[in-house]
Amino acid sequence: MAETTQLELVTPANIMVQKPVQMVVAPGSEGLFGVLPRHAPLLSDLTRGIVEVHENGSVASRIMIDGGLADVSGESVTILTERAEDLGSADRDAIKARAEEASGAEADFLNAVLAAL
């Protein structure tokens, strides 16, 4: 078993992901960055984009986030974001319906999710 780092993706409503992974690629405000185990401590601003979770050498899941913060330490990656949508399990119609109902930043984000699907 390869070395892993503990990924936590936290939104105001819940903890969306909490599991050990091999690598995380996050959309930093100054460009994408990948986090492997034993990464140097880093605190970074994130922009809207896709967090890629790598397990067993391939992309296991892709999660769209609407900006946020990443707190990286040697053993863990904590991503705080106001909105997140798992692209793997997202239902296009359901998101479309929510996007039509929502307004402002929320609708904007959901439309971006639709575009990325």
| Residue 105 structure tokens | 């930043």
Stretch that binds other proteins, among 4-12, 53-61, 90-98 (CB under 8 A): 4-12
By CB under 8 A, name the one of 17, 25, 36, 42 that touches other proteins. Answer: 42
Cα 4–58–82 angle (5° rounding)? Answer: 70
Q: Which long-range contacts (CB under 8 A, 24 or more apart) does 100-106 make?
A: 105/66
Stretch that binds other proteins, among 11-19, 54-62, 87-95 (CB under 8 A): 11-19
How far is it, in rounded angstroms, from Cα 115 to Cα 110? 9
In angstroms, give the least distance from the CB of 21 to other proteins. 18
x-or-dash string of contact with other proteins, 84-103, rule CB under 8 A: --------------------
| Residue 1 structure tokens | 């078993």
Number of residues that bind other proteins (CB under 8 A): 26
How far is it, in rounded angstroms, from Cα 108 to Cα 58? 30
Residue numbers of the site for other proteins (CB under 8 A)? 8, 10-15, 28-30, 33, 40-45, 69, 71, 73, 78, 80, 82, 104-106
